[in-house]
Amino acid sequence: MSDTLAEPLTPEVLESYDRLRADCGLLLLEDICIIEIRGEDRKGWLQGQATNDLKQLDSGASTSFCICSPTGQLVSICDIWGLGDRFILTCKRSTVAGVMHRFDQMVILEDVEARDVTTEYSLMSVQGPNATAALHGVVGLPTLDAADSMASANPVVVLRSDRSGAGGWDILIPKSDLNTVEALVDRFHTVSAGAREIARIESGIPLAGKDWDSRTLPPELGPAFETRHISYRKGCYTGQEVLMRIHSRGHTNRTWVALQFDKPVKEGSRVTHSQRNDAGLVTSACYSPEFGWIAAAMLRNEAVLDGGAVSAPSVDGFATAEIRDMPFLR
């Protein structure tokens, strides 16, 4: 589709996007919060809160999970890494209050301490297929997914992450270490907000407040998200009864999907389908140099399971889209 469309991206966004897809670039993760979790009971306690199985979360390992309400709705989507004496957990700034409230509410006699240490670090991420090669000699990279490391003579924490669809590394730098921050900014091109948003949608990374909210059930975010974030073989956790019931029933009532349009559409636009006029809503939309006009949408399963085409209002009438599973990138 994209070959028939005028390219609506600035040179800055295009350059940043090309770096993310063919080389690497620097993301300044000011919208991400960092929680440090310590205590002998930290893994066992988290097992009772996380949707994924944390049994293998030892030093150097990582995983992703959701924290849910007792009725199964999302509170937060989290990434977590194991270090020798602690876990490092990251989540969106807009959800950190819910995560910390869970610790305050549910840690009773367990030896677990959680601190929001966001203000103590600069969190920077080098993302793209060449991130590992480009960081050699700048930061000591672990062979596993996480380690306390060094940048020159300065201590940092290095975490393997994928915030772009091509993988890379998060680097936690103490606020007092301005030299490492400056070295990364000087060495790597800073990715524009526009390019980061394109990469996010292509990679099927749902954004709190746009693609999901406090009414969203984790399985509604699609099969790829479910596989990465939920284990149906682990023991009890908050919200498990609801998610297991959905799993045994076979599906939710709606699904977050990818749409490839022939024209631009706005976020919040109503999606129509032959089965029903109120098939769902566009949650995120952009122009992708690779895929053309793309969007994420939460659609009723009558539309998703039927497949075929849907439509949404555009600048000159209606745009038509093909329904695809998330993510666009395979």
pLDDT in tens, 90-136: 999 999 999 999 999 999 999 999 999 999 999 999 999 999 999 99
Compute the average pLDDT of residues 234-258. Answer: 93
147 shares its domain with 264: no
State the total domains in the chain. 2
Render pLDDT for 294-308 as a digit per residue (tens, 0 to 9): 999 999 998 887 667
127 shares its domain with 262: no
138 shares its domain with 206: no
45 shares its domain with 77: yes
Whether 163 is covered by a domain: the verdict is: yes
71 shares its domain with 205: no
The answer to which of 15-19, 273-277, 300-304, 306-310 has the lowest mean pLDDT is 306-310
- Decide if 279 contacts 310 (C-beta within 8 A): yes
Whether 69 is covered by a domain: the verdict is: yes
32 shares its domain with 180: yes
CATH number where 312 lies? 2.40.30.110
- Region of residue 247 (phi > 0: left; psi between -120 and 50: alpha; otherwise: beta): alpha
pLDDT of residue 225: 97
Q: Estimate to the nearest angstrom the gap between the alpha carbon of 39 and the chain centroid.
A: 27
36 shares its domain with 102: yes
- β-pairing verdict for 292-300 and 254-261: antiparallel
pLDDT of residue 3: 39
259 shares its domain with 294: yes
Residue 227: Cβ within 10 Å count:
9
Whether 226 is covered by a domain: the verdict is: no
Render pLDDT for 130-163 as a digit per residue (tens, 0 to 9): 999 999 989 999 999 999 999 999 999 999 999 9
181 shares its domain with 77: yes
Token pair, residue 39, equals 């205590």
Confidence band of 2 (pLDDT split at 50, 70, 90): very low
CA distance 30 to 39: 27
Confidence band of 265 (pLDDT split at 50, 70, 90): very high
259 shares its domain with 312: yes
212 shares its domain with 305: yes
Which structural domain, as residue segments, surrounds residue 291? 201-216+253-324
128 shares its domain with 210: no
pLDDT at 8 over 90: no
